Amino acid sequence: MGRIATAPPGLRRNLKERPRRLRRNAALRALVRETRLSPSQLILPLFVTSGHDRDEPIASLPGHSRLSTDRAVAVARDIAKVGVGGVILFGIPDAKDGEGRAASDPDGPVANTLRALRDSGLPLALAADVCLCEYTTHGHCGVIVDGDVDNDATLPIISEAAVVYAEAGADIVGPSGMMDGQVAAIREALDGSGHTQTAILAYSSKAASAFYGPFREAAGSAPAFGDRRGYQMDFANGREALREMELDVREGADMLMVKPALTSLDLLARARQRFDVPLAAYHVSGEVAMIEAAAAKGWIDRRSAALESLTAIARAGADVILTYFAADAARWLQE
Ligand code: PBG
């Protein structure tokens, strides 16, 4: 090191390859940028409730709220203006039960909001998450039989919910409960009810993760007993993640998702090589909350950290990114 510092000015090495040539100014860097984010590839998660003019802020997700249908439509209108690609709806029901029946209520918050969004004519892709955890008293993603989440007993219930959302106007349904055979069951139910055009975004590789904390606060969906490791994946497993994706492709998934995003970049890269269907990544609540918290303390630059995260997710292979930063990122990308 010392030698370089004391080298006489003007001494130049005969380097043929100098990658820095294309980093010299902003125009050159823009020209050769490999990964370009577009607002149209971003999906904003929305938590929807009953009622009117309701807006209950979610403390751990600054800028996000539980919204009644009218307020959700207002947000959708704003984000459509800046080119965000779509929304995915999560329902907060008025009442829960053991079987999560409210998930398939045709007058529940998700179905109502889907109809309102459909009627609004906004140019957004409309997705609905399909899972029971927001709707069950115990907070698990399926029905409980003999103290455990019963896979096959859950399938008809989530299939019914998917049909209700398709009926209400969803372009995409996203089963997130990690039940075996959920994609096949939902595809069959959709086709059987005439919804052959409704696409399935499979949460294929969803890890039992510590990064869902803020979401569970928002949705009131933390499990009342035990945890989700009996159905969500062990985050240590990569080959198993690929196998889950393979199964979902065979069951008829139109798109595959990995989740959380930043802890699954290797899975995205491997999936990109192996599958030709569109790939999505869910930049989950805890990933966003970490940036928000650090930014609030002045320890990190919020905008740069958010855009760097989203760009890395796209670089790894994601076509579609579900992110709480969708609205802000779309605005930043337009500047
Ligand atoms: C459950 C579901 C969860 C998320 C999306 N769908 C939570 C969980 O599995 O506990 C998490 C999303 C986030 O953290 O932003 N159906």
At 124-137, the pLDDT tens digits run 999 999 999 999 99
**Nearest residue (CA) to ligand 1, atom 14:** 212
> What's the CA gap between 96 and 220, in Å, rounded?
11
Per-residue confidence band for 13, with pLDDT thresholds at 50, 70 and 90: confident
Between CA 263 and CA 258 the distance in angstroms is 9
49-68 pLDDT per residue, tens: 999 999 999 999 999 999 99
Tokens 């004519």 identify what position? Answer: 121
What separation, in Å, do the N-terminal and C-terminal C-alpha atoms of the chain show?
A: 41
Judge: domain 37-334, CATH 3.20.20.70.
yes
Question: Is 297 among the residues known to form the active site?
Answer: no
Q: What local confidence, expressed as pLDDT, does residue 5 receive? A: 59
Q: Which two tokens stand for residue 166?
A: 């398709």
Sign of the torsion angle spanned by Cα atoms 327, 37, 263, 159: positive
Q: Scan for tokens 């029901």, then name that residue.
A: 93
Q: Nearest-CA neighbor of 329 among 283, 270, 290?
A: 283
For 188, left (φ over 0), alpha (ψ -120 to 50), or beta?
alpha
Find, among 89, 86, 70, the residue nearest to 122 by Cα: 86
3-state class (DSSP) for residue 102: helix
- The DSSP line for 173-212 is EEE-S--TTHHHHHHHHHHHTT-TT-EEEEEEEEB--GGG
Question: CB-based contacts of 137: which residues, under 8 Å, 6+ apart?
Answer: 96, 97, 98, 224
Tokens 């439509």: give the residue. 73
> Could you tell me the two tokens for 286?
């805890």
For residue 185, the tally of other CB atoms under 10 A from its CB is 21
From ligand 1's centre to the CA of 151, what distance in Å? 18
- pLDDT value for 161: 98
pLDDT at position 72: 98
Annotated active-site residue in 16, 81, 96, 206: 206
- Asked whether 211 and 232 are in contact (CB, 8 A), the reply is no
Q: In this predicted structure, what is the pLDDT of residue 1?
A: 47
**Tens digit of each residue's pLDDT (9 = 90 or more) over 120-175:** 999 999 999 999 999 999 999 999 999 999 999 999 999 999 999 999 999 999 99
Pocket test for ligand 1, best of 154, 157, 205, 212 (most atoms within 8 A of CB): 212
Tell me the per-residue pLDDT of 181-228, one tens digit each, with 9 for 90 and over.
999 999 999 999 999 999 999 999 999 999 999 999 888 889 999 999
Beta bridge partners of 43: 86, 322
Write down the catalytic residue from 81, 96, 259, 297. 259
d(CA 197, CA 193): 11
Residue 96 catalytic?
no
Lowest pLDDT segment from 218-222, 231-235, 266-270: 218-222
